[in-house]
Amino acid sequence: MTLEPTTAEGRAGLAAIRTEPAQALLAFDYDGTLAPIVPDPTQAVPRPEAIGALAELASYVGWVAVVTGRPAAVAVELAALDGVRGLEGLVVLGHYGLERWDAATGTVETAEAPPGLDRARAELPGLLAGLDLADADMEDKGLSVAVHVRRLGDADRALERLAGPLRELATVCGLVAEPGRRVIELRPPGTDKGRALRGLVVETGARAVGFAGDDLGDLAAFAEVERLRSEEGLAGLLVCSGSVEQTALCERADLVVDGPEGVAGFIKALVAELRRER
C-alpha cells in the first residue's frame, strides 16, 4: 500500500508526520476502524496484526491514542491492549472523552453517570415495544445506553423510526442521541471526540495530528483536525475507514482506506515509511 492523500492538506499532514514523527499524535477510533463491525458488539476484536502495527507505530511517533464511544476498559479488554510491548504509552479515551485509560498506570479515570441515565434505561424497553422494535438490542455501556438494530430484518427502516423518539427521550433525560452505524446511543452531553482529541493535543503539544475514523461520531474529531490546521497551524491527516454503511467521512477525508483491514494497511505503510526516514 502506498500512502497518497488526495488533498494538499493531507499531503502536508503526512509529510509532517514523516519528517517529525516525535511531534506527531496518531489517534484511532475503535469500532469500524481498528476493529471490524460485527453483529454482536461484544465480539468486535481487531486482527492481531493491527495491534502489532499500532505498537510498531508507537515506537516512531510521539503519541498513539484510541478515541472511542465505548467504555475505555471495554476497548482495552476487547483489543487486549494492556501490557502490549510497544504500547506502554498508549492512551484510550472512552465514552467520547469522559473516560481515560493509560497503559502507563493500567487504570481508568471515569466520570459520574449522568442523572437522567436511569430514566432512559427504565423507559427504553417500553419505547421499543411501542414501536414494535422490542427485538432491538439494548447495550448498557455504564455512562450511556445504546440501541442496536443491526440484527433486525430491516435495520435502516428501524433506525429511521427510532431516531425521533430516541431524540425526544434523550432530551427529557438530559442526554444526547448519538447516531452511528445501525445504532443510536443515548449519552451524556458536553463532550465529543473533537474535544477529546483537542485535550490530547493540548496535553502533548503535538504539532501534527493524524486521526482515523469511520462513523458520524468521528465527524467532531475530523472538524477538530480541520480547525487545528486552519486556525492553529498544525499539520493534520484525516483517514476514513470506508464502508458502504457510512460515507459522510469519506467526503472529508484526506485518505480513504477499505475498512479496518485498510486501516491496518495504512498503519503498516506509515511504519514502513517512518522506518525508511529514520
Chain residues in the site for Mg ion (CB under 5 A) = 29, 31-32, 214-215
Between 29 and 254, name the residue whose CB sits nearer to Mg ion.
29
Between 108 and 219, name the residue whose CB sits nearer to Mg ion.
219
Strand pairing partners for 177?
Answer: 186
Measured at the CA of 96, the angle between CA 4 and CA 203, to 5 degrees, comes to: 75
3-class secondary structure per residue, 128-162: HHHCCCCCCEEEECCCCEEEECCCCCCHHHHHHHH
Residue 244: CB minimum distance to Mg ion, A: 14
Between 187 and 207, name the residue whose CB sits nearer to Mg ion.
187
Residue nearest to Mg ion as judged by C-beta position: 32
Between 234 and 255, name the residue whose CB sits nearer to Mg ion.
255
Which phi and psi (to 5°) does residue 255 adopt? -150, 125
Residue 27: CB minimum distance to Mg ion, A: 12
Residue 242: CB minimum distance to Mg ion, A: 12
Instruction: Return the SS3 of 180.
Output: strand
Residue 32: CB minimum distance to Mg ion, A: 4
Residue 83: CB minimum distance to Mg ion, A: 24
Angle at which helices 8-19 and 259-277 cross, to 10°: 50
Between 55 and 263, name the residue whose CB sits nearer to Mg ion.
263
**Strand ranges inside the chain, DSSP E:** 24-28, 63-67, 91-94, 99-102, 107-109, 137-140, 145-148, 176-180, 183-187, 208-213, 235-241, 255-257
Strand pairing partners for 241?
Answer: 257
